[in-house]
Amino acid sequence: MNKSILALCVALSLTACRSSDDNQSISNSKTGKLDGQVKQLSVSNQTLNVNGYALRGSNAMVSYRDVPMTFDQLGNGMRVQADAIDNNISEMKLDPSLTGEVTYRNGNQFTVNGIDLTFDSLGQIQAGDWVMVTTYPQVDGSMDVVSVQLMPQIDFVEMEGTVTSLQDRTFRLNNVLVDYSNATVHNEYDLKNGAWVEVFGDMVANKLVASEIDVTDYSKYDGVEIEGILTWVNSDKTMIQLNNHLNVAVTDRTEFDDGKREDLAVGRWVEVELLFRDGRLVADEIEFEDDGDFAKGKEFEVEGRADYQNGVFTINGIEIEITYNTDFDDGLRPGNLDGKWVEVEGRYLSESFIAHEIEREDEDDDDIELEGPVLGDKQNPTLWGYSANDGSLDKYHGFWVDLDCDFDGTYLSDCDD
C-alpha cells in the first residue's frame, strides 16, 4: 500500500486533555509508590502534590540517576517516582523524558538532543542551558511538553521512547540515531523494535552515542500508582496501554473510581494502581482523572487471513507492524501466524498500522467488524482490501470508519456504523 496516499486520507489534528489540579482529590494518608507529575509545589514549605496526594518532602532524598538533587530544583509538571510513608516522602527520583543542552531557542520553540520541541513557558532559558524536559505522549504519537526545568550540566544526556529501525548495534529513538556499540544494555534480550527504552550517553554530531540503556522492566511497576494517558484500549476493554508503552490487563477484579469499565477510551487521563502477576501488568484500580472530554486517536480493527513472510505481516496485502508490545492470544506467535484467520486491533501512527493485539477468529462467521480508512476508487471503494457487492461502502469513501458488515467470505454487504 502507498503509505503517503493513506496518510493524506487519515491525517490527524488532535489535542490531548488532562484534568486540572483543581479537580484532583487530596487523600489524607498515602503510603506507597507513586509515579506522576509534580503539582502545587511549594519550595518554601517543601510540599507538593503527586497523583492527588498532598505530600511533605522536607526529609526526602532527591536524585536523578546517581546525581543528588535538591528540593528547590523541582518544578511543576516534572515527572517523579516517589516513595511515601504517611504522606512523607522518603525518596524521590526525577524521571524526565530527556535531559541535555538546549542547542536552539526561538520564542516557544527549542531543541534538545536533536529533537525540536514547543513549550510556552520557557522563561529565560536560552541556548547553552542544560534542562530536564518532561513530556507525555499524545494519541497521535506526538509529544506534549509539560515541563522544562533548568539543571546543572552533568556528564550524560538522556532520551526515552520507542525503539525503531533496530540493526547493526544502532536504532532510532524519536528519529535520532542511537549507536549502542559500547553500551551496557539492561534486559538486552528485550531490546527489539517497539520496546520502550531510556538511553544515556553523549550527543556527538546529532547522534546519541549510548553508554547505558534501560529496557522497560514491567516487574518494577508492581505496587506502583501511575498516572497518564490511555493511548490504546482493545474492543472488549480487557487490555489498555498507558503512556504509549505500558500494556496493562483489565480484569473482573479491577476496581473503578469516578467511572466504569465502559468509560475506558483512548485519550482519557487516568491513575492506575498496578500489580505484576504471572509476567504481566494488571490494573488493580483505575481512577478517571478527566471530565470525559478527551481526544480520540486513530484505532483500527481487522479480520482476515494472515500472511507472514520474511518478518512482514500483512492482511489482504496491507502491512501491519508487529512490535515488542504486540500481545498474542490463543497460542499465536509470529512463527505460526501465517495462514491463520485472525483479528487484529491496534493504532495508526506515523503512517503505519501498529498491532497491539492479535487473536484467532472464526472464519465461518457471516458478519465482520472493521475499523479503518475506506480507500480505493470512488466507484469501488475498499475497507481493509474488502469490496462491497451492494454499494454500502460508497458513502464512506475517504473516511475513517468503524463498520459492521455482512461477509460471505469474499465480499462485504449491508455495511453500517
Nearest to 116 by CA among 174, 49, 40, 183: 174
Summarize pLDDT for 149-162 with one digit per residue, the tens: 999 999 999 999 99
Bridge partners of 347, per DSSP, are 299, 354
User: How confident is the model at residue 96, as a pLDDT?
Assistant: 96
Phi, then psi, of 395 in degrees rounded to 5: -70, -10
Distances (CA, A) of 72 to 33, 277, 411: 22, 38, 65
The chain-wide mean pLDDT, for the chain, equals: 88
pLDDT band at 3 (very low <50, low <70, confident <90, very high): very low
User: How confident is the model at residue 137, as a pLDDT?
Assistant: 82
Summarize pLDDT for 182-210 with one digit per residue, the tens: 999 999 989 988 899 999 999 998 899 99
pLDDT band at 18 (very low <50, low <70, confident <90, very high): very low
DSSP, residue by residue, 35-87: EEEEEEEETTTTEEEETTEEEE-TT-EEEETTEEE-GGG--TT-EEEEEEETT
pLDDT band at 58 (very low <50, low <70, confident <90, very high): very high
Distances (CA, A) of 236 to 132, 176, 306: 38, 36, 22
Does the pLDDT at position 66 exceed 60? yes
Summarize pLDDT for 269-322 with one digit per residue, the tens: 999 999 999 999 999 999 998 766 555 668 899 999 999 998 899 999 999 989
pLDDT band at 16 (very low <50, low <70, confident <90, very high): very low
Phi, then psi, of 66 in degrees rounded to 5: -100, 15
CA distance 172 to 119: 24
Of the chain, the percentage scoring pLDDT greater than 70 comes to 91
Tell me, rounded to whole angstroms, the distance of Cα 45 from its chain centroid.
Answer: 34
- What pTM was estimated for this model as a whole? 0.76
Q: Which three cell numbers stand for residue 295?
A: 481526544
| Least confident piece of the model among 226-240, 272-286, 363-377 | 363-377
Write down the residue that cell numbers 517543601 correspond to. 46
Does the pLDDT at position 143 exceed 90? no
